[in-house]
Amino acid sequence: MIEKVPNSAQALPHKLVDQFGRQVDYIRLSITDRCDFRCVYCMSEDMTFLPRDEVLSLEECARLVKVFVRLGVSKVRITGGEPLVRKNALWLFEEIGKLKNLNELVLTTNGSQLEKQAQNLKNAGVKRINISLDSLDATRFKTITRTGELDKVLRGIQAAKLADFDSIKLNTILMRGFNDDEVLSLVDFAIGQAIDISFIEEMPLGDVNHTRESTFMSNIDTLKLLQSKYPLIASVETTGGPARYWRVADAEGKSNTKIGFISPHSHNFCESCNRVRITCKGELYLCLGQEDKIDLMPILRSHPNDDAPLVEAILASMAIKPKGHDFDIRRNEPAVIRFMSHTGG
């Protein structure tokens, strides 16, 4: 029996531990399904977005985060769609940034709004920022994003550097035949900017007509290519997520640049999974690659002044968190027919 919990900052005695003994201390919260880009691996070109009343309000987002932090979550990543296109999104960052027991408030963005928002986000308490960048060629960038402007993103990266976040990292999804020839130039760019970069294997989610097998680029191959040019040193550093890092060594054996690899295919990282995802509809997904979920929006709206039912549902969700995803690039159809923009990455 779960006790009623008032809406106070009082810590709860519970921790989020799943049936496999893994503690969940990291949530990824999508605050919108909308985006000013239409990246080919994330959403279709002609998207139908959710009506406003089917999307969590910013106040509901803040309430959810506060409950999860009281349940032992110490890292929150805000995602989308593109989170910074959400009206008044900065208010949410400011609310979350005040939480005493939260160690890290992190943002994943396409960079299009950073030129205007970077300093405000830093002031609100954002510590680390991940910026999607899949090409340094303006024409190719437009092809991949369908609507994006490379120069605008590059200006956003400079604004983020001036804001002096604890860490800035580029996220790159390599696709064979699209941008796999830019591996070295992207790493050179990261080194020149003194920021980090992670390569993410394309995940088999989304369009039933795109299975990803033809464009899949293994991080094993990417690492071999990089090792042929750069002196890489394996690192035990972690940011609390699934990335494995290498340092680019300089003449003194040091470097400011880390290269990360997130490899759901070539290196399954599920055994140490510490995260769950919440969509902008309030769906709590226990795994990116499975359909197990609990709908939190009805609970939020049915009990606006009592967190106990919400706490009970979240604690119960740990019993259905699966052991891992079931990604197989050889499938004739995606593992999950759900666009990345729906789950929030």
Q: Which structural domains are found in the chain, ordered by start?
A: 26-218+273-343 (3.20.20.70)
- CA end-to-end distance (rounded Å), the chain: 34
What is the pLDDT, as a whole number, of residue 239? 75
Region 83-108: mean pLDDT is 97
Q: Ranked by mean pLDDT, which of 3-12, 45-54, 110-119 comes out on top?
A: 110-119
Q: Ranked by mean pLDDT, which of 129-133, 208-212, 232-236, 340-344 comes out on top?
A: 129-133
What is the pLDDT, as a whole number, of residue 249? 87
170 touches 190 (CB < 8 A): yes
Region 220-243: mean pLDDT is 89
- Could you tell me the pLDDT band of residue 327, with boundaries at 50, 70 and 90? very low
Region 49-77: mean pLDDT is 97
9-43 pLDDT per residue, tens? 444 556 899 999 999 999 999 999 999 999 888 88
Calculate what percentage of the chain has a pLDDT beyond 70. Answer: 83
Region 172-189: mean pLDDT is 95
Higher pLDDT, 337 or 133: 133
What is the pLDDT, as a whole number, of residue 45? 83
How are beta strands 244-248 and 258-262 bridged, if at all? Answer: antiparallel
Please tell me the distance from the alpha carbon of residue 244 to that of residue 267, in angstroms, as a whole number: 10
What is the pLDDT, as a whole number, of residue 267? 52
Taking alpha carbons only, the member of 91, 90, 84 closest to residue 36 is 84
What is the pLDDT, as a whole number, of residue 12? 57
- Which of 105-109, 145-149, 175-179 is the least confident region? 175-179
pTM over 0.85: yes
What is the pLDDT, as a whole number, of residue 238? 81
Rama region for 194: left / alpha / beta (φ>0; ψ in -120 to 50; rest)? left
- Could you tell me the pLDDT band of residue 215, with boundaries at 50, 70 and 90? confident
What is the pLDDT, as a whole number, of residue 255? 66
What is the pLDDT, as a whole number, of residue 334? 44
Average pLDDT, the chain: 87
Higher pLDDT, 182 or 211: 182
